[in-house]
Amino acid sequence: MDGTLTIDGLDLSAPPPGRCLPAGAFTSAAVFEAELGRIFARSWMHVADLPELCAAGDFVAATIGTTPVVVVRGHDGELRGFLNACRHRGTTLAEGRGNCGRQLRCPYHAWSYATDGRLVGVPERQEFAHCDLGAMGLVPIRLATLGPMVFGCLDAAAPAFKEWAGELAEALGRARGAEMELAFDYVYDVPVNWKVYVENGLEGYHVPIVHDFLNDFVATDGARHFFEPHGSYTHARIRPEFLATVPPLAHLSAEEQGTVRFGHLFPNLIPVIAPADFSYLRIDPLGPERIRLVARSFDLGGELAALRELRREALDRTNQQDIGAVTRVQRGLHASRHATGVHSSFLEERIGHFERMVSRALAA
Ligand code: FES
Ligand SMILES: [Fe+2]
């Protein structure tokens, strides 16, 4: 049983079937703070992609909730994740992405760390005789890879990544996700709460109203939903007219070639596994009513790369349509703090599952 959970005067207990969390849950700064600590800091989070971490010294700086982290390809070939904070006085060691050469060097007093995290250089070393410098390497975080993606986790008590990822691991394995190359990407700044954007990605109810291309591509009738402890999926059929434009893929069954899987991996990743490509939307929480939306698409290259231009335009068009819709949702949520919306029994069923996950995580 989910007990009563109140934050900022809002009832955040798991809503009864068909009902949504109160509007204030999507605008409150106190709820947002609680989510950073109880959801983002305790979850497996997408932090980087393998195509940008190929060579020794390649790094990507990312944030898990509010915690800066860095992923580095070591000179021994290993991929590692660390807290992105110098052990001297805390400066971030890396920003953005790039190649650090043999060492991550702090820009403040030039402490330097090998790509395996060891502290290897300290100017005026004799001044630190009172410190055990040998024990002051970078602090490692948990790291896992899946298809072309890299995930990090700050919480030693979180389940193993394989358990967290569920169906996504198997689906990306069959689609040869680990061999995919980055085709294109977009970044958007959107004035909405992170849950508003996730929920938009969980339902097909708006698709015939808001979208054109997406509606031409997938048939929402006959869609099936699947639920996991840390995610959910819609399997939808690709319309035969569209399917005819894609070259046949020897590594997939006919059933798989005709199916697109719209997924959600708690808390903030929306993976979309199509037969010939893989895309994700990552919703970075920047504030109670602000996100950065990172949209990236991958494919196996070769003759499939010919479809990139069409896919690139379609993804941006679809995102812009969603951004227009959710921006109005966010404004409307200010009408009444305690109002609870409703969701449909099948088409928006996955929203109920998501809100129960949010409520459970906040209560833990
Ligand atoms: S804070 Fe990094 S060397 Fe001083
Ligand atoms: Fe949409």
pLDDT in tens, 98-127: 999 999 999 999 999 999 999 999 999 999
Mutate which of 93, 106, 139 for ligand 1? The one with the most ligand atoms within 8 Å of its CB, which is 106
pLDDT above 80 (res 304): no
Our answer on whether the CB atom of 109 is closer than 6 Å to any ligand 1 atom is: yes
* Distance (Å) from CA 211 to ligand 2 centroid: 7
Average pLDDT over residues 153-168: 96
Question: Is 111 a pocket residue for ligand 1 (Cβ < 6 Å)?
Answer: yes
Q: Which atom of ligand 1 is nearest to the CA of 110?
A: 3
Q: How far is the CA of 97 from the centre of ligand 1 (A)?
A: 20
Same fold, 45-153 and 165-363: no
Binding site membership of 86 for ligand 1 (Cβ less than 6 Å):
yes
**Band (1; pLDDT cuts 50, 70, 90):** very low
Mutate which of 89, 92, 112, 119 for ligand 1 pocket (most atoms within 8 A of beta carbon):
89
Judge whether residue 88 has pLDDT over 60: yes
The average confidence (pLDDT) of the chain is: 94
Residue 254 to residue 240: CA distance in whole angstroms:
12
- Asked whether the predicted pLDDT for residue 333 surpasses 50, the reply is yes
Q: How confident is the model at residue 248 (pLDDT cuts 50, 70, 90)?
A: confident
The confidence score (pLDDT) of residue 3 equals 59
The domain covering 45-153 belongs, at the CATH homologous superfamily level, to Rieske [2Fe-2S] iron-sulphur domain (2.102.10.10)
Q: Whose CA is nearest to atom 3 of ligand 1?
A: 109
Rounded distance from Cα 113 to ligand 1 centre (Å): 11
Class of domain 165-363: alpha beta
Provide the residues around ligand 2 (an ion) whose CB is within 5 A: 322
Q: Residue ranges of the domains in the chain? A: 45-153, 165-363
Over range 230-235, report the average pLDDT.
97
Q: Whose CA is nearest to atom 4 of ligand 1?
A: 109
Q: Which atom of ligand 1 is nearest to the CA of 89?
A: 1
Amino acid at 44: W
| CA 74 / ligand 2 centre spacing (Å) | 39
Mean pLDDT of 47-75: 96
Q: What pLDDT is stored for residue 215 in this prediction?
A: 80
User: Which atom, in ligand 1's list, is nearest to the CA of 109?
Assistant: 3
89 close to ligand 1 (CB < 6 Angstrom): yes
Is the predicted pLDDT of residue 197 greater than 50, yes or no?
yes
Q: How far apart are the first and last CA of the chain?
A: 13
